[in-house]
Amino acid sequence: MAFDDAESLFYMKPAAVIEGLARQFVADQIAIAKIRTLADSLPAGDPKVAELRAQAAEVIQNWVSKGVPNLAASFRLALEVLDTHGPEGVRVEDAVDAGIWNNKYFVWLKEFGGSTPE
């Protein structure tokens, strides 16, 4: 098996992944808050303002329907690796076992209401 064969390798250091996901979550929430604040601060009545508010609502809805399930599935996978293998994580080279670990994210993404990119 080649090291770069993504289909037969699973590797994760969950402590680092959890930190990265937490930072991503907070950064995304800050961006959403800024979008809401900006949209709410604009005067009503202008069609361009209505268009911007609609775009802001779409961004926020995408965050709720796509971003949150993605982060939740990623957190769940990292927490399972942490609980199973500790903070230093695991490297799985067996193709079947790696496939099981790699598939867990997609199962949980679907469970949380997300969808895979098409």
Note the pLDDT of residue 2. Answer: 45
Residue 2 lies in a domain: no
Task: Outline where DSSP puts E strands in the chain.
Answer: 10-12, 90-92
Q: pTM for this structure?
A: 0.83
Residue 72 lies in a domain: yes
Residue 1 lies in a domain: no
| Cα 12 to Cα 36: distance, rounded to the nearest angstrom | 35
Note the pLDDT of residue 7. Answer: 54
Tokens of 27: 């950064």
**Residue 83: which domain range?**
7-111
Note the pLDDT of residue 116. Answer: 79
Nearest alpha-carbon partner for 1 in 80, 108, 94: 94
Residue 29 lies in a domain: yes
Q: For 42, left (φ over 0), alpha (ψ -120 to 50), or beta?
A: beta
Digitized pLDDT (tens) for each residue of the chain, 118 residues in all = 444 555 569 999 999 999 999 999 999 999 999 999 999 999 988 899 999 999 999 999 999 999 999 999 999 999 999 999 999 999 999 999 999 999 999 999 999 999 876 6
Contact 77, 105 (CB under 8 A): yes
Note the pLDDT of residue 71. Answer: 96
Residue 116 lies in a domain: no
Residue 118 lies in a domain: no
Domain count, the chain: 1
Residue 82 lies in a domain: yes
Residue 80 lies in a domain: yes
